[in-house]
Amino acid sequence: MPFPTTNPSLERALTDRGYQDPTPVQAAVLQPEAEGRDLLVSAQTGSGKTVAYGLALASTLLGEAERFGPPAEPLALIVAPTRELALQVHRELIWLYGPAGVRVASSVGGMDVRREQRALEDGCHIVVGTPGRLRDHLERGRLDPSQMRAVVLDEADEMLDLGFREDLEFILDALPESRRTLLFSATLPRNIVAMARRYQRDAFRIDTLVENEPHSDIEYRALRVAPNEIELGVVNVLRFYEMRNAMVFCKTREAVRHLHASLTERGFAAVALSGELTQNERSNALQSLRDGRARVCVATDVAARGIDLPDLGLVIHAELPNDHETLLHRSGRTGRAGRKGVCVLLVPFTRRRKAEGLLAAARVDAEWAGPPTAEEIRKRDQERLVSDPAWTEDKLDEDLEMGRVLLAQHSAEEVAAALARMHRARLPAPEELVEAGPDRGPRAKRDFGDDRPPRERHARDEAFEAEDMAWFTMSVGRRNNADPRWLLPIICRLGHVTRKEVGPIKIYDRETKFGILKSFAPRFASAARKSNDEDIRIEPAGFERGKPQDGKKPFGSKKPYEGKKSFEGKKPFDGKKSHEGKKPYEGKKPYEPRKGADDRPHGDKKPPGGKKWAGKDAKPGGPKPGGPKKKFSSKRER
């Protein structure tokens, strides 16, 4: 569907920019019912909202005219939550209203205040800014709101989340009551609806998405990885896709700092965004992503708000988000304006259920698989090299001359091999990861760290039984969804051994027990003690095969009760009289006590005064010796 008829100047701008069909939100704001009215719009991130409200404002700002008049007091105010988003809106409005002779002024934190003041004094048609700086200009009288015809709140939900409610209310109260109020938000929580009721008049509601609907232009993939190989998984995902721009999300500043350092060390052109950066450092990082000097951005959720990278094709969740709304918000950084994007969740084996719950709540159908292997990445590199545009581009004379020189001194095969070697040298090396293998339930039998046939596994078990083994325990078990496929690499890495030295792996509910060849046990124990893994602890088990512990005989070398008489071959109570063939209490009166000292109430002690006890019926606390005997009606009373 082509764009509806709007202002001729805007139509020329859209044509020059290559816009042919409007997005759903752009078509919705241009319908006749929305013209000239306040708008309450909910649309997903990256759906073309900036162009949408730019087109919606045309009738209010230009009317029937094709060009703006001389710049004076501003006619419209655009409020955005972050500096990056405000500057992005500033650039979008310049090309959209450029043929109409617009002058757009920006007013954001971190910029020169005097420069902004001069721009406002010289006159403009539209002002774009952040809440705090706009309020400052209003309080100081630098921004005259008397001629304002419209105000737009972009990403209103984020502005309230960031604590700008007071600033927004001050700005809206300072504007003329006759202005149009356009409120755009990715979600419409209760506080947004309350603000709309207070500051809008007969607002036209536009919903272009089902609540929490995922982006249709994003391919979701969930990759199973070992808990200690998240960082390696990020490396392989980045290498497999090789997008121009990629964003990796972490939860904390420390995680961002660590992952950024690791990627930089491996050769990736990466930048970090977190709350500890200054505004200047943040601006330099984003500019390096836009101009191609950096390709990977590692960020926290808060630091990534308001960021729009036009060529962002890959989003990686290095740490799972806390809720499905955060999942959709992170993923919405890619797949914008009709472009395709990829969203990858790195799911540790122990967090599978949480990931499935997030995807179900977000209504996302993700493809589950293992992480890209080194072999798959090398195959992709070969395909990218063969299909590189450099093979079809026009050749310069100096390039052809260099090719002739190389072929004169080397064979074609040597030149091609050198080209492949140089291409591979500029790329970070892929990592070897644990094979994901087929999914198995938490109660499946897990005895070894490989998937060999049962016959081979039993042969290996017998080989290890013949050796002296040292046994260790690990602080994970079935309740952590432990699996030998990812436990074995952890054991090898923390203990500085290979899988050849690792014996059987026995997984229990709260712990895992595994064997190490005794000749490697001291080195393994020393390395495991020095490891700084806070989530997994490795300690010596309670016993070692063939070695006494604390003066006790181990069960691994002798049978239980060895050296003692056994009941084997004998009947129960052999040599003793049995009750077999007799009736209960046969030959005895019921409840007749046995003879002996134990029958007396106080054992072998005599009663005081040299007197005898009053009989078997006497008991401590009863009648005094020599008194009348008391008859008991039952054994319980005795």
Q: What are phi and psi of 205, to 5 degrees?
A: -90, 130
Count of C-beta atoms within a 10 Å radius of residue 625: 15
Q: Which amino acid is at 188?
A: L
Which pLDDT belongs to residue 104?
93
The interaxial angle of helices 521-530 and 484-495, nearest 10 deg, is 90
Which pLDDT belongs to residue 443?
32
Question: Within 13 Å of residue 530, how many CA atoms lie on the same side as its CB?
Answer: 9
Which pLDDT belongs to residue 455?
39
Instruction: Round to whole Å and give the CA distance between 215 and 47.
Output: 9
Instruction: Round to whole Å and give the CA distance between 315 and 297.
Output: 10
Instruction: Please work out, in degrees rounded to the nearest 5, the angle formed at the alpha carbon of residue 410 by the alpha carbons of 407 and 415.
Output: 75
Q: Which amino acid is at 216?
A: S
Instruction: Round to whole Å and give the CA distance between 504 and 458.
Output: 10
Q: Where are the alpha helices (DSSP H) in 466-618?
A: 484-495, 521-530
R_g over Cα of the chain = 39
Q: Do residues 475 and 537 lie in contact, with contact meaning Cβ atoms separated by under 8 Å?
A: yes
Instruction: Round to whole Å and give the CA distance between 134 and 174.
Output: 11
Q: Which tokens in the block code for residue 31?
A: 């319908």
Q: How far is CA 484 from CA 286, 435, 441, 512, 566, in A?
A: 42, 11, 13, 10, 39
Instruction: Round to whole Å and give the CA distance between 434 and 451.
Output: 12
Q: How far is CA 261 from CA 245, 256, 272, 305, in A?
A: 18, 8, 9, 22
Which pLDDT belongs to residue 626?
52
Instruction: Round to whole Å and give the CA distance between 182 and 149.
Output: 11
- Residue 98 burial by Cβ neighbours in a 10 Å radius (0-12, 13-18, 19+): middle
Q: Which tokens in the block code for residue 379?
A: 């195959």
Instruction: Round to whole Å and give the CA distance between 83 and 109.
Output: 7
DSSP per-residue codes, 575-586: TS---TTS-TTT
Q: Do residues 286 and 307 lie in contact, with contact meaning Cβ atoms separated by under 8 Å?
A: yes
**CATH numbers and ranges of domains, the chain:** 8-207 (3.40.50.300), 218-377 (3.40.50.300), 440-567 (no CATH)
Instruction: Round to whole Å and give the CA distance between 455 and 45.
Output: 55
Q: Which amino acid is at 359?
A: L
Instruction: Please work out, in degrees rounded to the nearest 5, the angle formed at the alpha carbon of residue 137 by the alpha carbons of 132 and 143.
Output: 130
Q: How far is CA 251 from CA 224, 247, 360, 503, in A?
A: 19, 13, 21, 37
Q: What is the mean pLDDT of each run of 10 residues along the chain (638 residues)?
A: 75 84 85 89 78 90 88 93 85 91 89 89 93 91 92 85 85 92 83 88 80 66 88 93 90 90 91 82 84 89 72 90 84 74 89 90 88 90 84 80 88 87 84 59 36 43 59 86 80 81 86 88 84 75 50 44 50 53 55 52 52 50 52 51
Q: Which amino acid is at 537?
A: R
Which pLDDT belongs to residue 448?
33
